[in-house]
Amino acid sequence: MKLFRALFLIITSLALSGCGGAKTTESVFPTSSVCGQSANENQLLVKSEQRFIVHWENNTYTLESGNTSEEFRKNFVSKNLAFIKHVDNDYRVKLTNQENLAQASAEDSLQAQALNWGAQQIGAPALWKQNIEGAGVIIGIVDGMVDATHSQISENIAVNVAEIPNNKIDDDKNGFVDDDKGIQVNKDINNPNINRHGTHVTGTIVAQHALGPVTGVAQKAKVVPAQFIGNDGGGSIGDAIIALNYVASRGAKIINMSWGLDACVAVPNLQSALQQLSNRGLLLVTAAGNGDPRGVGVNMDITPAYPSAYNFLNQINVAASTSANFLIGFSNFGRKNVHVAAPGVGIYSTVPGNQIETMSGTSMAAPIVSGAAALLWSAIPTATAEQIKKSIILSVDRNPTASLEVSSGGVINVESALLALKTLTGK
């Protein structure tokens, strides 16, 4: 035991005295800053002086409370320094340009009069005819409220069978009470009349055509909802990290993130959490963002916004396209940091109260790519996330009159992607 303890102290000492010198409270919790308005989703950013995201040396994350940053650094960080890798202030992010998107949806919906034009545009029906519908694939929906009672998506909610519903007990001891159908990390009492985004994203991926008018891209896939966005359209980054790790723990192979941060917000713990998920072989699907406050798309190569521009190995970043395979004016773009485009204008999907409605945005384009990835993974379950991503990028439809300003140059085509995936995997 004495030898073990001595070895532990030596290892800890070496860890604390790496190339950057001894670890200090200031080195693990540096002063952070924000620049104001977002290039991605035009957000109001509020730094919390009472909530802190702690990345521990064992690569877990917790949210901790304190009165001020200085008080937290002195009373918490100093006492736990040996076990802490990094600390960030938590930030609350509120989306503010929804009016621009609503107007875009109204103006551009004539381009997409067909109820399920998005799934048809990417060639999904060709895979459905081969009984490739996403079976066996779980997608994490890290977003707002998901109405699990909606008739078109209720059967697609992945049930945690180790949890007894509504008994107020954490039966499976995973840290979440009554998470039989996902979790809500934020503390809002949901208002389904305004918290509609997460249900819409979910229906775009999995809505069953036999149960209503909307047809999801991958109707036999399952989803794990993890809500961190509240009624005001915003949420805490710390809550988002908890939600991301939760869906991964529930077996998600794909995580859909139809939200984004400011280009110059320093939240290294979000980056490291996503890097870990990418390294574990999960496919991260991000929305490129909906332009500046005027609703005009931003070049993400010049003004990268996050997490969409992190460009991890197993990340695919999605712009929004029209039925004519052009980028819509509000969509962010970039030949380096945005990979593909997908339908994102006038997309009909499920919303709370057993209803459907149309929305526009890169938030709608990302779940179309998530659904396409689920189709591909159900067709070839042994494929890697990197192969799924590569097959989608290699097989896009390119507009003959104008190359889209994304790295692939075009709009996804899942039928062509399946052929590319077969070549990549030798199946």
Query: Each residue of 272-320: pLDDT tens digit?
Result: 999 999 999 999 999 999 887 777 899 999 988 889 999 999 999 999 9
Q: What pLDDT, on the 0 to 100 scale, is given for residue 401?
A: 83
pLDDT at 3: 37
pLDDT digits (tens, 9 = 90+) for 377-394: 999 999 999 999 999 999
| 75 and 171 inside one domain | no
> What local confidence, expressed as pLDDT, does residue 91 receive?
84
Is the model's pLDDT at 30 over the cut of 70?
yes
Contact 415, 391 (CB under 8 A): no
Residues 181 and 106 reside in one and the same domain: yes
Share above pLDDT 90 across residues of the chain, in percent, rounded to a whole number = 72
Q: Which of 76, 95, 114 is the last residue of a domain?
A: 95
User: Are 58 and 126 within one domain?
Assistant: no
Contact 261, 305 (CB under 8 A): yes
The verdict on 118 and 255 lying in the same domain is: yes
Whether 178 and 62 share a structural domain: no
Is 200 buried (19+), middle (13-18) or exposed (0-12) by CB count in 10 A? Answer: buried
Tell me, yes or no, whether 144 and 86 share the same domain: no
Q: 411 pairs with which residues across the strands?
A: 341, 397
Q: What is the SS3 assignment for 51?
A: strand
pLDDT at position 19 = 44
Count: domains in the chain: 2
* DSSP states of 347-405: EEEEETTTEEEEE-SHHHHHHHHHHHHHHHHHH-TT--HHHHHHHHHHTPBPPTT---S
Say if residue 398 is in the same domain as residue 257: yes
Asked if residue 159 belongs to a domain, the reply is: yes
Give the separation between CA 364 and CA 353, rounded to whole angstroms. 19
In the listed set 65, 95, 125, which residue is the last one of a domain according to the structure? Answer: 95
Query: Is residue 263 in a domain?
Result: yes
In a domain, 4, yes or no: no
Beta carbons within 10 angstroms of residue 424's beta carbon: 18
Q: Tell me what pLDDT residue 104 has.
A: 53
Q: At what angle do helices 362-379 and 197-206 cross, to 10 degrees?
A: 30
Same domain (yes/no): 313, 206: yes
pLDDT over 70 (residue 110) = no
Query: Residue 387 falls within a domain, yes or no?
Result: yes
- Over residues 109-119, mean pLDDT: 74
103 and 124 co-located in one domain: yes
Quote the pLDDT of residue 238. 94
pLDDT at 21: 59
* Dist. CA 301–CA 100, nearest whole Å: 23
Quick check: 137 pLDDT over 90?
yes
Residue 43 clears pLDDT 70, i.e. is over it: no
**Six-digit token pair at 168?**
């107020």
Question: Which one-letter amino acid corresponds to residue 162?
Answer: A
Is pLDDT above 50 for 39? no
In order, the DSSP letters of 218-249 are STT-EEEEEE-B-TTSEEEHHHHHHHHHHHHH
Alpha-carbon distance of 321 to 329, in angstroms, equals 9
Q: Chain-wide mean pLDDT for the chain?
A: 88
The reply to whether 80 and 117 lie within a common domain is no
Q: Which of 78, 95, 112 is the last residue of a domain?
A: 95
Q: 372: how many CB neighbours lie within 10 A of its CB?
A: 33
From residue 220, give the alpha-carbon distance in Å to each of 133, 180, 254, 282, 381.
Answer: 5, 19, 14, 19, 14
pLDDT bin (cut points 50, 70, 90) of residue 16 is: very low
**Which CATH number characterizes residue 110's domain?**
3.40.50.200
Question: What does the angle CA 143 – CA 201 – CA 294 come to, to the nearest 5 degrees?
Answer: 80
pLDDT(180) > 60? yes
pLDDT grade for 108, boundaries at 50, 70 and 90: low
- Residue 129 sits in the same domain as residue 58: no
162 and 175 housed in the same domain: yes
Q: Are 246 and 226 in contact (CB under 8 A)?
A: yes
Say how far apart CA 146 and CA 195 lie, in whole Å. 9
| 355-360, long-range: CB < 8 A, 24+ apart | 356/203, 356/212, 356/213, 356/214, 357/196, 357/200, 358/105, 358/109, 359/101, 359/105, 359/197, 359/200, 360/101, 360/104, 360/105, 360/108, 360/109, 360/320, 360/328, 360/330
pLDDT reading at 113 higher than 70: no
Q: Which two tokens stand for residue 115?
A: 């109820």
Q: At residue 164, what is the residue type?
A: I
pTM of the model as a whole: 0.90
Give the mean pLDDT of 400-426: 95
pLDDT of amino acid 41: 41
Q: Residue 332 has which token pair? A: 């962010």
Domain membership flag for residue 10: no
Name residues whose C-beta falls within 8 Å of residue 71's C-beta, 6 or more positions apart in sequence: none
pLDDT of residue 127: 98
Of the candidates 227, 170, 172, the residue with the CA atom closest to the CA atom of residue 198? 227
User: How do beta strands 84-95 and 234-236 pair?
Assistant: antiparallel
Q: What domain range is 377 assigned to?
A: 98-425
